[in-house]
Structure 1
Amino acid sequence: MRDRLVDWLYALGWAAVKRLPEPLARALFSAIADRVWRGRGKGVAQLEANLRRVHPEADEARLRELSRAGMRSYLRYWMESFRLPTWSLARIADGMQVKGLEQLNEAMAAGRGAVLALPHMGNWDLAGAWIASAGGYPFTTVAERLKPESLFDRFVAYREGLGMEVLALTGSDVSVIGTLARRLREGKLVCLVGDRDLSEAGIEVDFFGEATRMPAGPAALAQRTGAALFPVTLWYDGPVMRAEIHPEIVPPAEGDRRERTSVMVQALADVWAEGIREHSADWHMLQKLWLSDLTPRGAAQ
């Protein structure tokens, strides 16, 4: 029953929110964000705990201010996502401003292929729609399998409608890594969200002075295929979203494959940390992230 309700609510969002005048939709989702923030649920509490790592110097009043802005940014992401299928190519183009695109253009023109690795910042769906349309690079990505299956199917259809090829992270006969590597060897683009490990098999990194794990995938794929690896940060700036494609992370010359991957993942984490520190309200991390917060699988809850 709960799964069916969740699926129905998402379906309602895609059906109804896109029909609202945009100013009304923005006001509505800001009001929802404020109500959730005042409710002090688990997600808000965890967001503040995460922001405390980002800004250890901040007092409680500042953290509350950041978490409120963070919830408004997060609900803006959902509002835009529900409306994105109706946006024209011109509207998508006008909604993004990108710095560093020339680096991606050079790698793609050379036939190397490229991996864009993003944290959970801003609206990664809008960024994807922009790069596939205005940027001119349809791409392949990976999605976590959601429950119920009908909800996962909705998300896949939604993202494919924005110009993405979507691979299920689990539960498929298709080799995810093999397919991504094949796309890169064909000189194509892969985009991956990489600041949260879902497998418990990621690379341990230092992130804001504490240990966490991040997926090895973006760095491992770049090494395996010779594709360029670019970290990306996203943030809102008034009515538009800005993105920066940072300089390529090149595999180190020394060490075995695992050691080189570890160095590259740490480099990704360092770039993301700088962007998150500067645009903390647009980092949508409402889940536990650091190892000290996580309960090992199989341990008592």
Structure 2
Amino acid sequence: MDERTAALAYSAGWAMVRRSPERAGRAVFRQMADRSWRTHDDATRGLERNLRRLLGPRATDAQLRALSRAGMRSYMRYYYEMFRLPAMGSDHLVCHTRQSGIEVLEGHLRAGRGVVAALPHMGNWDHAGAWIALRGHTLTTVAQRLRPESLFQRFTAYRESLGMEVLPLSGGSGTVGTLARRLREGGLVCLLADRDINGGGPEVDFFGEKARMPSGPASLAMNTDAALMPVSLWYDGPYWNIRVHDEIPVAPGAQRSDRVRDTTQALAHVFQDAIAEHPEDWHMLQTVFSADHDADRARELERIERGG
């Protein structure tokens, strides 16, 4: 799909989903998930590559395929609800949200201490942001810049309409400084933190293998004395679930890089346990594990050598 087509598709999605009956809309997105799963397209293969680590070496292909089908349905549920979220209404969001641990997070904010909420790609993070905004908290987050630029601006405007401050991951100026300033002011920063997009994060143990995760959450907590709190999200029938886990203290040590790595490792352990409890709601279709990154690079080099 080229950039212009992608932009038009998302624009149509925002317009049509809000106007269509909910039952019909959910059925369409479920059919889209099943089509992707049946054809075993790139998205499904990417998801299965990650889920195989979660299931372990003794899992059968049938078990993997059953989990990936549930995972694709959960993933497309996220997209349907993302498009429809602004039309759902605050009462619906409040009544269909179950949470634990939010009182501790809000206690830090009331005391003037910033919080870094670090999330894996689970459940519906847009809903979680809208829900916390309804509780009176302004949150700041970072978004990967999409192409075309009009699509990125559309996503930014959408999330800002839900009560979020959105900063670009790349192509902007002062993003890290702004995040640190918000935390020192006692604010809330929410970051997706189970995939290292830029490739410079520490390597950690994750489901028995090496994987790189972003250093941002640990570094920000270290630099600002903010509380680093993992948050996991999952679905339960019509309900959205939010769990705020215990604060992860910044690891001690003489070397900054060691402290960041050890703190990120502790975060990865929490993510691993949360994902294992609700594996179908882990929406990770991209490469995460170091072995897969190596294989991807080897295939790309082979393609270049062949002149492809």
Task: State which drifts further: 30-39 or 7-16.
Answer: 30-39
Q: Which residue of 2 aligns with 1:63?
A: 64
Residue 300 to residue 178, structure 1, CA distance change in 2 (3 Å): farther
1:178-236 CA distance string (max 9 Å, x none): 00000001101000000000111011101001111100001100110011010011110
Distance 1:289 1:281 in 2: 17
1:156 partner letter: T
Q: Which residue of 1 aligns with 2:127?
A: 126
- Tell me how far 1:300 sits from its aligned partner: 4.4
The answer to whether the aligner puts 1:33 opposite 2:29 as a matched pair is no
- Tell me how far 1:252 sits from its aligned partner: 2.3
Q: Which residue of 1 aligns with 2:227?
A: 228
Q: Which residue of 1 aligns with 2:165?
A: 165
- Tell me how far 1:299 sits from its aligned partner: 4.2
1:240 partner letter: Y
- 1:186-205 equivalence runs, <5 A: 186-205=185-204
Contact 2:142 2:191 in 1 (8 A): yes
RMSD (Å), alpha carbons: 1.3
Task: State which drifts further: 111-120 or 28-37.
Answer: 28-37
Superposition misfits of 4+ residues, deviation over 3 angstroms: 295-301
Distance 1:103 1:268 in 2: 18
- Tell me how far 1:254 sits from its aligned partner: 2.6
- 1:144-159 equivalence runs, <5 A: 144-159=144-159
- 1:170-185 equivalence runs, <5 A: 170-172=170-172, 174-185=173-184
Distance 2:288 2:252 in 1: 30
Q: Which residue of 1 aligns with 2:116?
A: 115
1:205 partner letter: V
Distance 1:282 1:162 in 2: 22
Contact 2:114 2:226 in 1 (8 A): yes
Contact 2:36 2:43 in 1 (8 A): no
Q: Which residue of 2 aligns with 1:53?
A: 53
Distance 1:115 1:202 in 2: 17
Q: Which residue of 1 aligns with 2:210?
A: 211
Which secondary structure does the structure 2 equivalent of 1:211 belong to?
strand
Task: State which drifts further: 139-148 or 17-26.
Answer: 17-26
Q: Which residue of 1 aligns with 2:306?
A: none
Contact 2:3 2:148 in 1 (8 A): yes
Distance 2:157 2:93 in 1: 18
Aligned length: 299
Task: State which drifts further: 38-47 or 189-198.
Answer: 38-47
Distance 1:59 1:287 in 2: 22
Distance 1:285 1:37 in 2: 15
1:99 partner letter: S
- Tell me how far 1:32 sits from its aligned partner: 1.2
- Tell me how far 1:116 sits from its aligned partner: 0.4
- Tell me how far 1:94 sits from its aligned partner: 1.9
- Percentage of pairs with the same residue: 53
- Tell me how far 1:93 sits from its aligned partner: 1.1
- Tell me how far 1:255 sits from its aligned partner: 3.0
2:176 partner letter: I
Normalised TM-score (structure 1): 0.96
The answer to whether the aligner puts 1:87 opposite 2:85 as a matched pair is no
Task: State which drifts further: 196-205 or 91-100.
Answer: 91-100
Distance 1:63 1:54 in 2: 10
Residue 232 to residue 55, structure 1, CA distance change in 2 (3 Å): same
Distance 2:192 2:212 in 1: 13
Distance 1:280 1:251 in 2: 27
Which secondary structure does the structure 2 equivalent of 1:142 belong to?
strand
Which secondary structure does the structure 2 equivalent of 1:265 belong to?
helix
Which secondary structure does the structure 1 equivalent of 2:240 belong to?
strand
Which secondary structure does the structure 2 equivalent of 1:196 belong to?
coil
Which secondary structure does the structure 1 equivalent of 2:292 belong to?
coil
1:267-286 CA distance string (max 9 Å, x none): 11100000111100000011
